[in-house]
Amino acid sequence: MNYSGFNEINSKIKEDALECLLNRMVNLSLKVFIYDMSKLKEETSLMGEKPEERFESYLHIAGESEYLKNLYLKYPVLLRKLNNCVENFANFLNHVFSHLNEHWEEIHETFFDSSKKIKLLGLTFENGDTHEQGKTVILLRFNQGKVLYKPRNLYIEKNFKDVTNFFNQSDETLDIIQPKSLFFEEYCFTEFIEQKECTSLKEVEDYYTRYGQLIGLIYLTNGSDMHFENIISYGEYPVIIDYETLFSVQALYEGDSDSMFAKIMNLTRDSVSGSIMLPSEMKLDYEGNSVDISGLDGKTQKLAKKVFVPKRLNTDEASFELDNLVLESSNNLVYLNGELVDYQKYSDQIISGFLTVLNHFLKYKTEFIKLITNLKEEKIRVIVRNTNNYAQFLEFTKHPSCMKDFIEIEKILENLYTFPHIDKKISKLEYEDMIFDDIPIFFTSLDSTVLENSKGTEIYNAFCNTPRENLLNKLKSIDYGIVHEQVGIIKMQLLGEKGLSFTKTKELIETYPNFNYLDIAKNIGNRLIESALIDEKNKMMVWATFNEIKNDKFEYSSSKIDYYNGILGVAKFLKLLGKETLDSSYNEYANYLINTAIMLVNPQNDDSAFVGAHSLLNLLSYVNYDDCCHDSFQNFIVTLDDYSHFLNNESDSYDWLSGSSGLIDLYLNLFYQTNDQRYLTRAEFISAQIIKSKGEMLLSNNLGIGHGISGLIISIARLYLCTKEANLKKYLEEIMEIQTKLLQNSSKENLFWCNGSLGGVLSQAYVSSKLKLNFNNNHEDILIDIENTKYRTDCVCHGVSGVVQLLLDFSVIFKDAKYEQRATVLLDKMIQRWSKEGIIRIDTFEGFDNLSLYKGLSGIGYTLLRANNKRSVPSLLLND
């Protein structure tokens, strides 16, 4: 074939092409050759004293044609894969050179100075994944600069140009740029964008303002997969270099597509979180390993996850060994005068840019919807599975045993069928691509529900709606409320705890002081119910909300089941709200939440009385025979042993909230309810573990009930009251002595239920009353300190509501009305402040309510119920 249009295929081009091919072939065969070398080493067939010399000896042996022939006879699958690799690579290069020849003049005029002759100097092939029979992106190095060759139809980028033009016309937005491109039916040539530093603080600020605008634009076009490799920092411009996943749509999964879980998945995917432009934890496996691949964070990351990597390759000691996975830095990082810029410092600019785009959209919503409606139908890529999953499968197939027989590869790839696609043809097409080492790739078009693979095989009705219909439905639903939610998601993923703000009261107390405690509690309950996703058919209920996944890291996802921070805490509040108001609908919604928790529960090692499967037991006394959750709850009790294996292991946490001591109370209550001796035995077993391990020493510096020694004291006291065991009494006396010393030296700055003297004084008062002990502690002084403290929040765990509940508990323990009066004064002041300020001091993210019983609105509602009727509503601080 004549390639005279671009001068000649020089020696450097040939060298680059050959290097790429050799890398691909080595990647396929390395495990086989290392294994083969190790066998020869065992047989002492390698010559040389040093590992490097014996390696050279192996190269000499393996380089003999007869030896290679026998090796390939032993590994026929490897031979076929290598032949396929060479054939695909040759075909691909022929197409690339043909396209270069055909469009040489257009490339010259579009990307370079047309007055100067251009010459192709070399090729740089994208490392790693190939698609569509060995195709990959190639960097074409010319004497005047660089151009990318992409072997795919990317006309969809023209559509995005129309979108950016719509917003670039506004005086309020900064201009957005896209790389220059030449588009063709099966490939395109694109301007190569070099990473470029910012030269001034103004450029940095403008960069992040534009980044916020891009978050908005990608959100308004259902873009996805905008990870750190797809964004380049080019001075004051963040430049997206791959738009093929715009107008994204999800292939149908098994299960009810109208279920609340499907809706939450859709809400998450269609939110600003779905683009991967914001910091997030992408799960790598089921062991909790994760990585941030967002467009904002591209720093080198050494991950906890370990993978098998080749070591000592120039010796006969070569092997694959477990080592930490390292994710190298990318070109999306922003630099100013050689220094890496911290994107968190520019969160205001990011949010401002996002709001500028969304406000412009809302102002011209009709016109923008018309623009989307009239966009030309183009081909788009569909991501049906995380690419990392494909790569892991392919790595397994390179094992020497797989290179002997395709059946071994098929055994591995059959696992593709476990993915919950409704149409298993998708898995079949994935299999067909991966059998010869390609990463599967799928496409559709804007007005189609047909999914197409790289070879043109079609799967009909793969989606509920076409990509255009899906986007238009979303655009029509966007209002200012949804925009506030998206800002909240940006803040939670960008800033973590720094993005929290207080809860707006809205309609909760508009007509105060005419409302009473019960009315406000009802308003809180109604507000929580109205914001939930409810499945009336299956009697379940959940929220799309924020969840803390690690210290100071949050995600937008389905609400957790937990009693402390999740739906079980809300269920308890609604149960009691229904009881106090005589409104059965609250009880019914609480039952929905219990049903949901039971369906979602799974065994975990960090289970406790407040988090995970065991936290369901907090609702034991509230599930009645005629409740819709009764049968499923009883079934859960029957299978409780399945969630208790971790109790046999030595615990590293003994606190009430997140450790093992709180479980003593739950099993005691279960024993009282069922009269089943097994549960008492289990409570005794847990206490024996704590005593044996000297669990009190881990808690001896913390007075709190939630995380300190006072919670342990409550549990041991309750167990002693049940069993009257002398060793428990002795242990109780020992740990109460520790508690007394802590109270005597307690700080006035740590007056919380969870960690401080509020928990300590309540625990001591409660246990003393139960055991008929003298209570000589100077609790009144501590109470005065507590009441005079200006708490930052209004929550139960470490805020004003916790103090109100403490005073109500003292009123019951000491049968003294003065404590209830003081609680009422404090609560009324708090409500008056709500009315005046328009906020409840509950930490949340903009657009969302904090559901938590101990840190959120449910706890506020519960406090109001207890203040309204402390005899009927049990203590939350003591978890009665």
Query: Binding site for Zn(2+), residues?
Result: 754, 797-798
In contact, 809 and 758? CB cutoff 8 Å: no
Q: Is 705 exposed, middle or buried (0-12, 13-18, 19+ CB in 10 A)?
A: buried
Using DSSP, state whether 105 is helix, strand or coil: helix
Residue-wise DSSP of 217-271: HHHTTT----BGGGEEEETTEEEE---TTTT--PPPBSS-TTSHHHHHHHHHHHS
Contacts of 496 (CB under 8 A, 6+ apart): 552, 553, 554
Give the number of C-alpha atoms closer than 13 A to the C-alpha of residue 237, restricted to the C-beta side.
Answer: 14
Unique residue bearing structure tokens 């079980």? 568
Classify residue 18 by its DSSP letter.
H
The amino acid occupying position 351 is I
**Cα separations in angstroms, 560 against 228, 623, 841:** 29, 20, 22
The secondary structure of 767-812 as a DSSP string is HHHHHT----S-HHHHHHHHHH---S---TTTSHHHHHHHHHHHHH
For the beta carbon of residue 504, count every other beta carbon within 10 angstroms.
Answer: 16
Q: Name the residue among 158, 17, 19 with its Cα closest to residue 100.
A: 17
**DSSP string for 312-349:** -TTSTT-EEEEEEEEE---TT--EETTEEP-GGGGHHH
Angle at 879 between CA 873 and CA 880, to 5 degrees: 60
Interaxial angle between packed helices 387-396 and 425-434, expressed in degrees from 0 to 180 and rounded to the nearest 10: 50
| Count of helix runs (H) and strand runs (E) in the chain | 29, 23
Residues at the binding site are 754, 797-798
What tokens were used for 728? 């428990």
Q: Which helix (H) or strand (E) holds 125?
A: strand 120-125
Whether cis (ω within 30° of 0) applies to the bond prior to 513 is yes
Non-local (6+) Cβ contacts of 519 within 8 A are: none
Residue carrying structure tokens 């139809």 = 153
Q: Of 600, 597, 675, 603, whose CA–CA distance to 639 is shortest?
A: 603
For residues 558 and 543, is the Cβ–Cβ distance under 8 A?
Answer: yes
What are the b/e assignments for 382-412, b being 16+ CB within 10 Å?
A: bbbbeeeebeebbeebbbbebbbebebbeeb
d(C-alpha 213, C-alpha 216), whole Å: 5
